[in-house]
Structure 1
Amino acid sequence: VRGNGKIVQELESFFRGAGWNVIKVVWGREWDDLLARDSEGALRNLMNVTPDGDFQTYKAENGAFVREHFFGRDERAASLVKDYSDEQIWNLKRGGHDYRKVFAAYKAAMEHKGQPTVILAKTVKGYGLGPHFEGRNATHQMKKMTLDDLKLFRDQMQIPVTDAQLEENPYEPPYYHPGAQDETIQYMVERRRSLGGTLPQRRSNHTALSLPDDSVYALPKKGSGTQEVATTMAFVRLLKDLLRAKDFGHRIVPIIPDEARTFGMDAYFPTAKIYNPNGQNYTSVDRELLLAYKESPQGQIMHVGINEAGALAAFTSVGTSYATHGEPLIPVYVFYSMFGFQRTGDAQWAAGDQMARGFIIGATAGRTTLTGEGLQHADGHSHLLASTNPATVSYDPAYGYEIAHIVQAGLERMYGGEHPDPNVMYYITVYNEPIVQPKEPEDVDVDGIVRGIHRVSVGEGDGHRAQILASGVGLAWAHEAQKLLKDDWGVVADVWSVTSWTELRRDGLAADEHNFLHPSEEPRTAYITDKLAGSEGPIVAVSDFMHAVQDQIRQWVPRRYATLGAEGFGFSDTRAAARRQFKIDGPSIVVRTLQSLAEDGVVDRGLTAQAIEKYRLHDVNSGTSGNAGGES
């Protein structure tokens, strides 16, 4: 309803302007005789100039009110209904409630060729529910019908239920079914059968998937040697191998709303191709390139343009195909991380509600890592938004080998058949800052990577101890801080890669709930508590996200815990300057660690001030943490 306007005409203009055929079903058959006698167009004029708000009011009143306030505005129109009773005027229906006219509209739409057709049907909110409901603004808040309402509804819909049956318990009126042999039921069942079965329908069984073996994940585990590779590219290379995996790769559906070349995904174009049911009927501007744009009806990539809503709709459709069609497909939706949960969080909630399975890749992540594009791209909070979605399992990996284990664990959870909750979406943030990707250690802690934390470096030598927790690109700053602490202050720090702050928090909450509900059983401890139990010294945590991301685990950290984070809007400057501004770089970690040691009474408080002066912590131009360059 447009109170001061007319929504039907507004929508008609949009569709006609787009080249559609428009069929309007505005007035029921009871108006036909009046319109046929409207020789001077008085009634048509009233219909055209009366706003939606008035039409809603008419249906909340009665026939006498409509006679006076609608027809009575023009004596010529009033004369058309002078012989009508108030009840007859009240029974002048809107077109959307006239099944003959609705049928005629559908028939006309089916017979129209050469254009898509839209049917605009005018209806009344709460139609048939009686005067307390029909046309009322409060309809959506009214949960119960009174006994009189039930009787009116029964009479209007001609339902064979007696007064005695309704009066027996007005809060539990009987359900009426005409019987399986009723011609109406028979017709509905036959039509549904001919259209392919009942809808909506979720299939509990689907075609079995043959998941890739360990060899498919081998490349990221080898490291990058001397070459600097961003985690975005590490993921893209892994996805390329997954697309090639025998008996599996054809089930992956990359979804890219924009920037495929920025992410390095143009490498997929020649082989996987971009899906287009009409093929490619033009000569592409990049046709001379090895990785030229290729569209095909057999394409595997969904390249939807700058259309996050469309991309999420595609993700949901593909991610639920295991249940709606019995054929599992694995969507891999890649986007600028700032344009994910912030723009389409509601759609991602709906995807979770529909039990979609797949991977959501937040590329160019971090508040300080994607330089030069301003605050609209500076994501420092998507993991907080993701944490609110119960179906989202989020990770912020630092290295390619971590990504390999996370993706493998995700596929195993979704389609391995062993996990009690396979209906999840894995959100993985990746960055465009190039670093030398390390080789996977021989003693790699795979369980720790998947559950949220593993130690990547044990500090050597004697000295006061400390623990540094970091995720994503922040792990490089942690290593920098580890070296500065040892060389400049004689402090020995271990470095931990936190692959998922959110999963650690969920594990902690689960432990707390178990202890709350089972006080007589052996208490459980949170995974993060167990992992840090054998370590020494204060704990400092950092990432390229807000403090609140690291603060998620605070209540389960066993000792003094301090966090560093990027608060506020991002800005266009060098990575090093931005990290110094937010106080999340290597020297900032050093200062925060020294401060924590001083608060524990282990070192002199004056060391903190000395470190601030030594590293010129207040000078954004003195920051050095981070590499330049890197598109993906």
Structure 2
Amino acid sequence: MSVVTGQSLREVENRVLWLSAAIIDHANRVRPNPAGLKVGGHQASSASLVSIMTALWFRHLRPEDRVSVKPHASPVLHAINYLLGELDASYLTRLREFGGLQSYPSRAKDPDPVDYSTGSVGIGATAPIWGALSRRYIESLDSGSSRGRQYSLVGDAELDEGAVWEAVLDSAVGELGEVVWIVDLNRQSLDRVVPNIAAGKLQGMFAAAGWQVITLKYGHLLSELFTRPGGVALRQRIDEMPNPEYQRLLRCSAEELRHRLPGDSGEIAALIAGVEDSVLVDAIANLGGHDLDALDQAFTSIGDTRPTVIFAYTIKGYGLATKGHPQNHSALLSAEQLRDLALRVGADVDDPWQPFPEGSTAHALCADTALRLRRPTIARQSPPEVPSDFGRTPTGVATTQAALGRALLDLTRAAPAAARRVVTVSPDVSSSTNLGGWVNKVGVWSAGERPDWFADDAETILHWREKPTGQHIELGIAEVNLVSLLGELGATWSRWGQPLLPIGVLYDPFVERALEPWSYGIYAGGQSILAGTPSGVSLAPEGGAHQSIKTPSIGLEQPGCVSYEPAFAIDTEWTLLASLGRLGKPGGTSAYLRLSTRPVDQTLAAVPTDPAARERRRRQVVAGGYVLRRVDTPAVTIAAMGAVVTEALAAAARLHQVGIPADVICVTSPDLLYRAVRARQGHSSDPSWILEQLFPADRAAPLVTVLDGHPHTLTFLATINRVATTALGVTNFGQSGSLEDVYRHHNLDTDSIIRAALDVRR
């Protein structure tokens, strides 16, 4: 770096440090807080990343690059965006204020540019991996777009998260040379100095996964001392001392350092005896993650043929009075400490947001960087039109799980443009979830074409043709990876203007394992479909470990998502097509389809043959439910969902024989019906017309609800007409057995429904 550039870069570094600290200070000490609740913020965690982010943004970042910033460094990101003219100064006083800057970086809610939402530890760190893979995928649709690097700024404590290693170890990740992780190795967690951070072990794990590993441990001051007589002993002493001992040295005066640092080494004592006090204090804190020259060299050495991880040794609270203290995670600088910081970095505590003077080299650097990083406007393509109905009526016996695969194949014929935008993802379960036909049709995606060595094997049913134009991505058995990728595939419409229609398929019992990252992907703007299949205790012989209970209510409660549990193949087709039509656009939503492997007689669906009546049925299915059996005057209503609709119909027929006429309502989405109830109560603007069609007040009768899941999912239906009710469902862990035995055990069988109907009428 030239003298002018180096000096201006250090001025920017100091200003970023000041702004990040001042943003947090204002939120906690200046802004009125009538409630007295802690506002929070992380001055020390921000400070440890200031040098890294300054060097990255103001020297190396390109417009096509994207960066995920660790959650607790959000004030640093906002400070940089402010200096680059991407954030109005009025927001600097609004950290963690309603409508202001979010606690953690958010693509959806922050007013300035944020590439990746973070805040859920580990999920934001891995997002650029799946962003890179998604970017590779859309190259098959838009080969003219530039790839760019995908950076993750990762806190070292985030490496404790299993999600990190699930992502790092996936075989597909080793091909993503645009992925760069920078580990902020400050060796502290929330409450302590981590005694055994084991950096060498972590570096070895990344190397074993095929990553380029760059270690940035010492800055130029310490490195120069290591070259002097006694320097080898000094380096060995620092390398071998426990993390807490090193952190304690950061809190020492020069006099204390001369006593503590040598240990029993006369060599070290002699070496530091000739070092000035101020130089010695600066040198002991001179780690590579705070040395702009060392950072520059590290960023320059990044290769593009494999993922890269840079272990940048840093100090939590670097540049602040709280540096290195074990309890500095949420500590705030005192008023005196903040004033001292302002004096040292050339800021004004009374006018904290003042920009660099025009004509200064620092102002010029900010202006040049803003110009260099300006991204071209991306023209967003609209997603292709998805048909609402293929026009066929399934017959015979079928499962809703198989109907998913069949509908995808039908889509390739009925709407090839929409089908080309579909990408399916599964964790090594594509054949067992009935995606085999789809995979054979569209092929498997890979960065490069690979030979199918079983193409000429007559006994091979599932053909694994891997090519860059394939539309199925199969990951290892790691559900977190699947839904994390799903979220990024679902965000390409807003990130690169290329809408995709992503569908993830996994066993329904594992939806809970994958829920948190999928939910976070929805929060970050990812729109996708998650198909949980097979589901419930209907998977009887598989036993309790593979039987889901809570997932229906999860679908009802998940924001940004519409959930469905279809009973018949035609319901699956209609709800899938409707869900696809909601993807890849502003205001779009995700969907969760809970499917079953239980074979069901499709004639029970009684699909109308009249075109107008058929369309009415389709609209009802998509809106949340439809009438499957209607009597003149019901003595009881049975509302059933999913696989147990068969038992509900059988129970209604037998009740009719004993003089108790029963309506049967097939619920396809408790989620949408609940929204309709809340809309009727004035809590939302969702449509509520479906309630009158399913549960008209003049047909109100005692209600029995039944589903293969937790019974509370449907209990709210009784509030529509305030009728007596009883709820059947699964409240205990499942067990292996025949379908009949398992249904009887959980009171889902026909006899149990009849008994419930008789009891609720008393």
Could you state the TM-score of these two structures normalised by the residue count of structure 2?
Answer: 0.68
What is the aligned partner in structure 1 of residue 593 from structure 2? 428
What is the aligned partner in structure 2 of residue 120 from structure 1? 311
Deviates more, 1:180-189 or 1:288-297: 180-189
1:401 Cα deviation from its structure 2 partner: 1.9
**Quick check: 2:452–2:464 contact (8 Å CA) kept in 1?**
no
What is the aligned partner in structure 2 of residue 176 from structure 1? 355
79 and 155 in structure 1: CA distance in 2 versus 1, 3 angstrom threshold:
farther
What is the aligned partner in structure 2 of residue 625 from structure 1? none
409 and 22 in structure 1: CA distance in 2 versus 1, 3 angstrom threshold:
closer
2:370 paired with 1:189 = yes
| Equivalent-residue separation in structure 1 for 2:209 and 2:534 (angstroms) | 36
**Quick check: 1:20–1:116 contact (8 Å CA) kept in 2?**
yes
115 and 271 in structure 1: CA distance in 2 versus 1, 3 angstrom threshold:
closer
What is the aligned partner in structure 1 of residue 453 from structure 2? 283
RMSD between aligned residues? 2.8
Query: 1:444-459 maps to which residues of 2 (within 5 A)?
Result: 444-459=616-631
What is the aligned partner in structure 2 of residue 333 from structure 1? 504
What is the aligned partner in structure 1 of residue 111 from structure 2? none
1:36 Cα deviation from its structure 2 partner: 1.1
What is the aligned partner in structure 2 of residue 604 from structure 1? none
What is the aligned partner in structure 1 of residue 566 from structure 2? 397
| Equivalent-residue separation in structure 1 for 2:252 and 2:748 (angstroms) | 65
Q: Tell me which amino acid in the other structure corresponds to 1:185.
A: C
2:739 paired with 1:575 = yes
Q: Tell me which amino acid in the other structure corresponds to 1:373.
A: E
| Equivalent-residue separation in structure 2 for 1:267 and 1:369 (angstroms) | 24
What is the aligned partner in structure 1 of residue 89 from structure 2? none
Q: Tell me which of 488, 501, 506 is aligned to 2:675.
A: 506
What is the aligned partner in structure 2 of residue 251 from structure 1? 421
| Equivalent-residue separation in structure 1 for 2:582 and 2:462 (angstroms) | 34
2:480 paired with 1:309 = yes
Q: Deviations 1:52-105 (Å, cap 9, x if unpaired)?
A: 233333334544444433334533322221133443222121110001111112
% identical equivalent positions: 22
514 and 423 in structure 1: CA distance in 2 versus 1, 3 angstrom threshold:
same
Q: Tell me which of 403, 410, 415 is aligned to 1:241.
A: 410
1:449 Cα deviation from its structure 2 partner: 1.9
**Quick check: 1:231–1:400 contact (8 Å CA) kept in 2?**
yes
1:146 Cα deviation from its structure 2 partner: 3.7
Q: Tell me which of 211, 218, 222 is aligned to 2:391.
A: 218
Q: Deviations 1:200-237 (Å, cap 9, x if unpaired)?
A: x9x6x62123313355x223xx122xx21101111211
| Equivalent-residue separation in structure 1 for 2:232 and 2:630 (angstroms) | 89
1:339 Cα deviation from its structure 2 partner: 1.3
Deviates more, 1:35-44 or 1:296-305: 35-44
**Quick check: 1:243–1:252 contact (8 Å CA) kept in 2?**
no
Query: 1:288-437 maps to which residues of 2 (within 5 A)?
Result: 288=458, 289=460, 291-340=462-511, 342-366=512-536, 368-414=537-583, 422-437=587-602
**Quick check: 2:405–2:438 contact (8 Å CA) kept in 1?**
no
2:306 paired with 1:135 = no
What is the aligned partner in structure 1 of residue 664 from structure 2? 495
176 and 66 in structure 1: CA distance in 2 versus 1, 3 angstrom threshold:
farther
501 and 57 in structure 1: CA distance in 2 versus 1, 3 angstrom threshold:
farther
Runs of 4+ in structure 1 deviating by more than 6 angstroms, as ranges, are none
1:557 Cα deviation from its structure 2 partner: 4.4
597 and 259 in structure 1: CA distance in 2 versus 1, 3 angstrom threshold:
same
Q: Deviations 1:27-50 (Å, cap 9, x if unpaired)?
A: 111112321125483212212221
- Residue 626 of structure 2: SS of its match in structure 1? strand
354 and 167 in structure 1: CA distance in 2 versus 1, 3 angstrom threshold:
closer
**Quick check: 2:706–2:729 contact (8 Å CA) kept in 1?**
yes
535 and 54 in structure 1: CA distance in 2 versus 1, 3 angstrom threshold:
farther
Q: Tell me which amino acid in the other structure corresponds to 2:481.
A: G
**Quick check: 2:636–2:660 contact (8 Å CA) kept in 1?**
yes
- Residue 12 of structure 1: SS of its match in structure 2? helix
| Equivalent-residue separation in structure 2 for 1:140 and 1:281 (angstroms) | 52
Q: Tell me which of 204, 208, 214 is aligned to 2:382.
A: 208
1:349 Cα deviation from its structure 2 partner: 1.7
| Equivalent-residue separation in structure 2 for 1:409 and 1:114 (angstroms) | 41
| Equivalent-residue separation in structure 2 for 1:106 and 1:478 (angstroms) | 64
371 and 56 in structure 1: CA distance in 2 versus 1, 3 angstrom threshold:
farther
1:272 Cα deviation from its structure 2 partner: 0.5
**Quick check: 1:7–1:52 contact (8 Å CA) kept in 2?**
no
1:240 Cα deviation from its structure 2 partner: 1.2
| Equivalent-residue separation in structure 2 for 1:474 and 1:33 (angstroms) | 75
1:330 Cα deviation from its structure 2 partner: 0.5
Query: 1:617-628 maps to which residues of 2 (within 5 A)?
Result: none
| Equivalent-residue separation in structure 2 for 1:25 and 1:576 (angstroms) | 63
277 and 381 in structure 1: CA distance in 2 versus 1, 3 angstrom threshold:
same
What is the aligned partner in structure 1 of residue 694 from structure 2? 531
What is the aligned partner in structure 1 of residue 335 from structure 2? 147
1:282 Cα deviation from its structure 2 partner: 5.4
**Quick check: 1:25–1:101 contact (8 Å CA) kept in 2?**
yes
**Quick check: 2:231–2:271 contact (8 Å CA) kept in 1?**
no
20 and 334 in structure 1: CA distance in 2 versus 1, 3 angstrom threshold:
closer
| Equivalent-residue separation in structure 1 for 2:682 and 2:723 (angstroms) | 22
- Residue 369 of structure 1: SS of its match in structure 2? coil
Gaps of 5+ in 1: 518-523, 599-632
Q: Deviations 1:103-150 (Å, cap 9, x if unpaired)?
A: 11222334xx8765432110111222x213x224444434x5443333
| Equivalent-residue separation in structure 1 for 2:688 and 2:308 (angstroms) | 61
| Equivalent-residue separation in structure 1 for 2:759 and 2:236 (angstroms) | 79
- Residue 37 of structure 1: SS of its match in structure 2? coil
Q: Deviations 1:463-486 (Å, cap 9, x if unpaired)?
A: x71100000002111011112212
1:426 Cα deviation from its structure 2 partner: 0.8
| Equivalent-residue separation in structure 1 for 2:220 and 2:369 (angstroms) | 25
Q: Tell me which amino acid in the other structure corresponds to 2:394.
A: G
| Equivalent-residue separation in structure 1 for 2:693 and 2:397 (angstroms) | 34
2:216 paired with 1:25 = yes
Gaps of 5+ in 2: 1-186, 188-192
What is the aligned partner in structure 1 of residue 399 from structure 2? 230
What is the aligned partner in structure 2 of residue 565 from structure 1? 729
**Quick check: 1:508–1:526 contact (8 Å CA) kept in 2?**
no
**Quick check: 1:3–1:51 contact (8 Å CA) kept in 2?**
no
| Equivalent-residue separation in structure 1 for 2:236 and 2:660 (angstroms) | 86
**Quick check: 1:308–1:339 contact (8 Å CA) kept in 2?**
yes
426 and 481 in structure 1: CA distance in 2 versus 1, 3 angstrom threshold:
same
Q: Tell me which amino acid in the other structure corresponds to 2:533.
A: A
Query: 1:14-163 maps to which residues of 2 (within 5 A)?
Result: 14-39=205-230, 41-92=232-283, 93-110=286-303, 116-128=307-319, 130-132=320-322, 134-142=323-331, 145-156=333-344, 158-159=345-346, 161-162=347-348
1:555 Cα deviation from its structure 2 partner: 3.4
- Residue 427 of structure 1: SS of its match in structure 2? strand
Q: Tell me which amino acid in the other structure corresponds to 1:231.
A: T
| Equivalent-residue separation in structure 2 for 1:233 and 1:26 (angstroms) | 55
**Quick check: 2:231–2:268 contact (8 Å CA) kept in 1?**
no
139 and 502 in structure 1: CA distance in 2 versus 1, 3 angstrom threshold:
farther
**Quick check: 2:568–2:600 contact (8 Å CA) kept in 1?**
no
| Equivalent-residue separation in structure 2 for 1:178 and 1:255 (angstroms) | 52
**Quick check: 1:470–1:541 contact (8 Å CA) kept in 2?**
yes
What is the aligned partner in structure 1 of residue 194 from structure 2? 3
Could you state the TM-score of these two structures normalised by the residue count of structure 1?
Answer: 0.81
| Equivalent-residue separation in structure 2 for 1:536 and 1:40 (angstroms) | 87
| Equivalent-residue separation in structure 2 for 1:398 and 1:470 (angstroms) | 9
1:526 Cα deviation from its structure 2 partner: 8.5
